[in-house]
Structure 1
Amino acid sequence: MPASGKSATPSAAARTASPPSLAVLGLGVFLLVLAPLLAWYVEPRAKVTPVDVDVTTVFTGTGSYFDTAALRTRDRQKITITRHVLGDVAASERSGRAVWDVSTTVDTPRTLPLKDPRKAFQWTTERWVTDRHSNAPVHCCAEAPTRFDGDAYLKFPFDVQKKSYRWWDNTLGAAVPLRYAGTRHVQGYEGYRFTGTVAPTRTGSRQVPGRLVGRGGQGQIQAEEWYANSGIELVVEQRTGRIIHAAISPLKTLRAPGSRRDAVVLLRGRQLEFTPATQRAQVRLAKADSDKLALVGRTLPVGTAVAGGVLAVAGAGWVARGRRPGRGAK
């Protein structure tokens, strides 16, 4: 007789996952991993000082200057300071640093229309080299001046804090402490405000006729050059460190050797500050750079994390619910 057989019973339904559910789950996990990478890896590498800069800033205000033709100081004159910053891209790429060439002219009503730095009341050139991440000075690439330090000059470090910074004053030839002094809106954009002063300091000497400094009987003498600044104010965009407004009140004078009194005012600026056009341009650049950093450092990581969490939960639920009936054995 044939052996009696047992009837087949359906096997337990096997859990299976459909390809779409696995794809959703995988995408969710990928986005969750990507979010911290954007915040901790991509953003720090995006915070680098640009090298392809070509920016002109203009200060204006009233003041006094020494007219060498008339041998006297002219008061209540318009003073204009123009600074042009041009990045040396080739040198920056070779060195891995930010290399900026800076030309600064000081003009009076007589020299400004000439539009020639060689004929300006004063013209200086510098070559600044800084670390692209920290903004610290770097001594390479034929920088000038060769002896400089500080935390800030043409810009502040990224992620500006509410603390004091050392700002390099090229006229003084030294760093000046600037204190955090609250916030200020410039063209509707908020920045951190820093202020400081420079006490009268001897910065050099200059050969002049003795009578110019009260020493008429001595012919040519080496008069002392002195510098002070009664008010430095810088307003800085917090995320990028870009200066969106600046105001200075420089005073350059001559003294007779050993004297404690100023004999001649070479240059006095009363609240020379960024023009409205310069403010708008600086705010526009600061906002664009800040928005880019916020995108990779906050908006994308948060959005990616939220999307990843939603997709991971949905994908996991879909996989858990996915079933395919098993086939019974015959």
Structure 2
Amino acid sequence: MRTPHGRQVTLVAAGSFALILAALLRLYVYPHSALHPREPYPATVHLSAAGATYFDWATLRLRVGEPVYRTAILQADPFAGDGDTAVWTELTTTNDRSGARIDYQERKVGFDRRTGVSRSCCEEYVGARRGVRQAGLAFRWPIDARPVAYPFFDPVTLRETRMRYTGEQTVRGLRVHRYEQDTAPVRMEDVADPLPGRILGLPGSAVRVARFAETSRVYWVEPRSGLPIRVEEHIRQTLRTADDQERLVVLDATFRTAEQDVELFAAVAGDFAAWARAVETTAPAVLAGLGAVMLAASALPGRRRRSAAAQDEQEVPGDDLPEAGDPDHGAGPARVVAGQGVDDVDR
């Protein structure tokens, strides 16, 4: 039989364990396990732009009002990264409706698995440029992203520009943060080969030009997971002559994430958010409540159980019981008749 003291010890131990476990889940397990994966998932993003304008470098002709498609594939470097850092390579291809390549870009960068901020490591590069410092966010937002501006690296202009927080919206049933970024025209490169003047509306058979680019982006990010759910990206690239005059638009397109990808990203982000709520909030709250109840119960006074013999002793005091061998045991009270004494009655 468990004694009242043993019951109190058990409740105190169980309640203390529940409170400690609740604190560990919230303050240690969640912060150390809520990380971006080392292997990217989803690993492929499809975007498309309707009614785009682009310059066909193969035929030296300008295409207007054509659909353009962009595919970005993420790959993890299996020989780089660690528990705190992921290293991904992004391969981005832009094609026309026939599948012919319009543009291709490749970059590699390591980033912090919790904050999403890039790290200088692992032989990062953008295109042919080695050692490019890709400052700011790379592929993901921070875990538990806040409604504030974040530095973001633009792989088109190769500049760090702020991603402004512009509000909260709902995408596929998820509460998401909306961020926007705009970059001014930036000189990207000098075109290697001169172009015929007629293409640029200029006289001459060979004109040197430089390529400039400007971008504007909108990201819809699920804040718990830091995963972008939807992206809208407007890219405008032009050719300028030495006098800094814009002569030809070589790309003008607004790319948007394919809806099937939006659905997949929302499902992945929703699963992460549900896990995060369970580990950081729900489970600690339940454990803390149970622990508090058990500790409170341990402080209540125990109920003393009395034996049956003790109860009988209280109901029939031992001094009132006749002893064995008493000659008067079992005798009833003497009868007294009016007008007679006791001795007369006995006679």
**TM-score, normalisation: structure 2:** 0.79
Aligned residues: 298
Distance in 2, Cα, partners of 1:52 & 1:98 = 8
2:25 to 38, 43, 58: 38
Shift of 1:322: 5.6
Show structure 1 runs of 5+ residues with no match.
1-14, 112-118
Q: 1:64 to 1:160 in 2, by over 3 A?
A: same
Q: How does 1:283-294 map to 2 (within 5 A)?
A: 283-294=266-277
Amino acid at match of 2:61: R
Unaligned runs of 5+ in 2: 308-347
Q: Give the letter for the 1:133 counterpart.
A: R
Residue 65 in structure 1 maps to residue 54 in structure 2: yes
Q: Which has the larger radius of gyration?
A: 2
Residue 69 of structure 1 and its aligned partner are, at CA, apart by: 3.4
Query: In structure 1, what is the equivalent of residue 113 of structure 2?
Result: 132
Out of 146, 158, 167, the residue aligned to residue 173 of structure 1 is 158
Instruction: Say yes or no: does 1:266 pair with 2:247.
Output: no
Does residue 90 of structure 2 align to residue 107 of structure 1?
no
C-alpha distance in structure 1 between counterparts of 2:156 and 2:268, whole Å: 27
Does structure 2 retain, via aligned residues, the 8 Å contact 1:16–1:324?
Answer: no
**Residues 52 and 323 of structure 1, relative CA distance in 2, 3 Å threshold:** farther
Structure 2 counterparts to residues 1-330 of structure 1, below 5 A: 16-17=3-4, 19-54=6-41, 55-62=43-50, 63-93=52-82, 96-111=84-99, 120-145=101-126, 146-206=131-191, 207-211=193-197, 212-217=199-204, 219=206, 221-229=207-215, 231-261=216-246, 263-269=247-253, 271-317=254-300, 320-321=301-302, 323=304
RMSD: 2.3
1:45 to partner: Cα distance: 0.5
Q: How far is the alpha carbon of 1:20 from its aligned partner?
A: 4.6
Say if 1:208 and 1:222, in contact at 8 Å, map to a contact too: yes
Paired position in structure 2 for 1:11: none
Partners of 2:302 and 2:88 in 1: CA distance:
61
- Residues 208 and 242 of structure 2 are in contact (CA less than 8 Å); yes or no, is this contact kept in structure 1? yes
TM-score with structure 1 setting the length: 0.83
Give the Cα–Cα distance (whole angstroms) in 2 for the partners of residues 180 and 210 of structure 1: 44
What amino acid does structure 2 have at the position aligned with 1:138? R
Amino acid at match of 2:251: L
**Residues of 1 paired with 2:235 and 2:228: CA distance?**
19
How many angstroms apart in 2 are the aligned matches of 1:297 and 1:17?
35
What whole-Å deviation, never above 9, does each CA across 1:185-206 have from its counterpart, x for those lacking one? 2122220001122222222110
8 Å contact from structure 1 (residues 97, 129) kept in 2:
yes
How many angstroms does 1:243 deviate by? 0.5
Question: Equivalents in 2 of 1:178, 1:91: separation in Å?
Answer: 28
Post-superposition CA distance 1:235-287 (Å, at most 9, x none) = 111112110111011011111122322x2221110x31111111001111111
- Seq. identity, %: 23
> Which residue identity is paired with 2:106?
T
Q: Once the two structures are superposed, what CA deviation does each residue of 1:290-322 show, in whole Å capped at 9, x if it has no partner?
A: 2222221111111111111112222333xx306
Q: Could you list the per-position Cα deviations for residues 75-112 of structure 1 after superposition, in whole angstroms to 9, with x for gaps in the alignment?
A: 1111111111122344224x74111121111111122x
**Counterpart Cα distance in 1 of 2:181 and 2:121:** 29
What is residue 115 of structure 1 aligned with on the other side? none
d(CA) in 1 for partners of 2:296 and 2:259? 52
Give the drift of 1:21: 4.4
Runs of 4+ in 1 over 6 A off after TM superposition: none
Shift of the alpha carbon at 1:325?
Answer: 7.7
